[in-house]
Structure 1
Amino acid sequence: MNHNESPVSCRVWRDGAMVEETVRKDEIIDALNDSDRLVWLDVVDAKPEALGSLIDALRLPATEIEDAFAPHERPKVSRHGDHLFFTTYATELAGRLADLEGDRLRTHRISGFVLPSALVTIRSSDFDIEPVLRAWDENSDLLKAGPRALVHGLMDTIVDGHFATIQTLDDDIEDLEDVLFEENRTGRGFQQQVYSLRKELVALRRVVLPMREVVNGLLRHGGRTNTELDSWYEDLYDHILRAAEWTESLRDMVTSVFETNLSLQDARLNTTMRKLAAWAAIIAVPTAITGWFGQNVPYPGFQKEFGLWVSVVTIVLGSLAMWWSFRRRRWL
């Protein structure tokens, strides 16, 4: 394996205690084949051709290698012989909704091979592995259960990231709801933010919902059972269900915001049209009176000064009567 092509790190535990934090490159294959030790091999920003000797030594199927590096692969878990293969995605939001144009949601793929005594992860450098290492260190007793404990720490950290992303989107939707009923605040920018949120939730849903199948597959194909570890996986599965339900509820909420905004725009348009019609009716009063008195026939006050004042008073009184009538009906 040409380790110069991509950063590779390796840790080794025995009976839950770390015995080696770094492993020499020429000893990695031997460590992976030692059933008395628990090994984690992390390959970052790798290319398939850089893992040739590792693939050959572990007898990994070509289809799994293709899935591990193929873009836009769906989150999943599958069993091949004595090992499991999984693909999942971590998420994060870049910046605030009001400050950015375009999508903020960032996804980072993590693929892995769960071997009888080892976990091999293939990921990009964009994914921060430090929270995963802390989770393993804080629950070192679980590592006695083998590589499934390592997978649990990884999945738990990823799901925590999903919750953080969902919480931020929830806060964004609440901010939009606060301005929804304010006058002159739901213009083009508001509509763009709602549309951006809908796109982000659709993309997030593609990542969060399949996690149920991933964790369920890890439980179902986990090999030898460990009561304590299984209870941790069941708790993780419950968290995933909550994240999926929360994501679905946010999709309903942002759809409601979008539809409510359209309804409010229609209501405001109707109000504006009603006001315009009312003012047009008021303006019609002086138009009618001046048109009448503009006829070239004698009338009371014809060609006299008081005739002008009669027309002015009639216009004012007629306009006020129309305004009062429309005001009573709340048209103005």
Structure 2
Amino acid sequence: MPHPSQTDPAAHPDNRIGAEPPRTRAWQDGKVVAEGFPVVELSEHLRRGEVVWVDVCAPAEHELRVLAGELNLDPVAVEDAVSPRERAKLDRYHDYFFLNLYVPHVDDGALSLHEISAFVTERAVVTIRQDRALGIDALIERWDDGPELDRPELAGNTVAVLLYGLLDLVVDRQLDAAQAFDDEADELEGLLFDENASLRGVQQRSFRFRKDLARLRRITLPMREVLNTLLRRDMGFVPQALIPYYQDVYDHTLRASEWTDSLRELITNVMDSRIAMQGNQLNEVMKKVTSWAAVIAVPTAVTGFYGQNVPYPGHDTHWGFLVSTTIIALCSVGLYVAFKKRNWL
């Protein structure tokens, strides 16, 4: 069953924008008064004094012309909204601002980033997702289940409440990703002293972990600047009653960025420890191999110096040559197997 906020493509065939039908919703005094209406009716709801939310998924630049015309959006901001891999940021325009954020997801130790942009005006919030993997239902549930819209002192600040829900969701997902990487770091630490662990496998996981952690850090660090800008008094966007909520998101942002920094130091220490352990292991192997070589070198030197070459069973015969060759091959294979079992080769 489609969500009520999703517009009906059969009833409004000209309303399709992007990879799926847009989602729309309107609030009056903090209460939902309409949803699932076509985007062309956006200006009508705004004239009624309602707060409007529109969500589109993976639109082309020309498909946003209706929204750009309704909200008087700058072409540069529209281009940023549809361009993938824009950095996380907040840009201020004349009567609105543009946000670009990333929602991380960690699956089996692998990090994927889902980009979401938002235009925030005085009475409208437009979210633009770059792919379908970022489900918007979680954001709607947060708005519906959160007590903020039901509080009378916040009913007139619906846009700020909606943006708070979006930022809170994004930062919570970033904290979840940091927690997943923390668990991955614990596993890597456990493998560090596991003699049965594959050295190549541990190295591959470590390098992938470090690369993904750097990507996570690139999207968490700018969130501090975003929240700082929104909380500035000259912005006048966050009302006094909502400052504790935004401050809480800011604290979570600090925690996420500090967590990623500590994990970077941890994985660096793990990799350095692994290299040091490899060096120590190599020294042990060289010590043992050198000792055996010294033991074998003494009789070899004595017999070679005196030229001792006595007849042995099968001397000057074909079968004697085959026997000696077989002994050499078996001893070589035996030494190879013994060294391999001890991880000397």
Query: Under TM normalisation by the shorter chain, which class is it?
Result: 0.7 to 0.9
| Selected match of 2:249 from 227, 236, 247 | 236
1:110 and 2:124 correspond: no
Residues 279 and 33 of structure 1: CA distance in aligned 2, closer, same or farther (over 3 Å): farther
Deviation for aligned residue 1:290: 5.3
Q: CA deviation at 1:26?
A: 3.8
Q: What secondary structure does 1:210 align onto?
A: helix
2:79 and 2:210 map into 1 onto residues whose CA distance is 31
Structure 1 counterpart of 2:209, one-letter code:
L
Matched, 1:122 2:118: no
Unaligned runs of 5+ in 2: 1-12, 310-345
Say if 1:180 and 1:186, in contact at 8 Å, map to a contact too.
Answer: no
* Structure 1 residue 172 corresponds to structure 2 residue 179: no
Post-superposition CA distance 1:169-199 (Å, at most 9, x none): 1111111110102225241111111111111
- Is residue 43 of structure 2 the alignment partner of residue 29 of structure 1? yes
Structure 1 residue 168, shift from structure 2 partner: 1.0
Deviations 1:224-269 (A, max 9, x none): 5522211100010000000000001111111111111111111100
Name the structure 2 match of 1:226. 239
CA contact (8 A) 1:90 1:108 kept: yes
SS, match of residue 217 in structure 1: helix
Partners of 1:148 and 1:222 within 8 A in 2: no
Deviation readout 1:39-65 (Å, 9 max, x if unpaired): 111112211211212212211111111
User: Contact between 1:2 and 1:51, CA under 8 Å: does it hold in 2?
Assistant: no
Q: Which runs of 4+ in 1 moved over 3 A?
A: 284-296
Percentage identity across paired residues of the two chains:
40
**Cα distance between partner residues in 2 of 1:54 and 1:269:** 65
Give the drift of 1:108.
1.0
Which of 67, 82, 86 in structure 2 is aligned with 1:54? 67
Task: Output the TM-score relative to the length of structure 2.
Answer: 0.78
Greater shift, 121-130 or 238-247, is seen at 121-130
Instruction: Could you tell me which runs of 5 or more consecutive residues in structure 1 were left unpaired when the two chains were aligned.
Output: 98-103, 297-332
Distance in 1 between residues matched to 2:235 and 2:161, nearest whole Å: 11
Structure 1 residue 218, shift from structure 2 partner: 2.1
Aligned to 1:321: none
Distance 1:51 1:295, change over 3 A: closer
Could you say which residue in structure 2 is the equivalent of 1:259?
272
Specify the alignment match of 1:311 in structure 2: none
Contact kept? 2:58, 2:82, Cα under 8 Å? no
Q: 1:224 to 1:263 in 2, by over 3 A?
A: closer
Q: Which amino acid aligns with 1:212?
A: R
CA contact (8 A) 1:3 1:50 kept: no
- 1:188 aligns to 2:200 (yes or no): yes
- Does the C-alpha gap of structure 1 residues 290 and 219 become closer, same or farther in structure 2, counting only changes over 3 Å? same
1:285: Cα distance to partner?
A: 4.1
Q: Partners in 2 of 1:44 and 1:72 — Cα distance?
A: 15
- Bigger RCO of structures 1 and 2 (CA < 8 A, at least 6 apart): 1
Normalised by the length of structure 1, the TM-score is 0.81
* Distance (whole Å) between structure 2 residues aligned to residue 149 and residue 21 of structure 1: 18
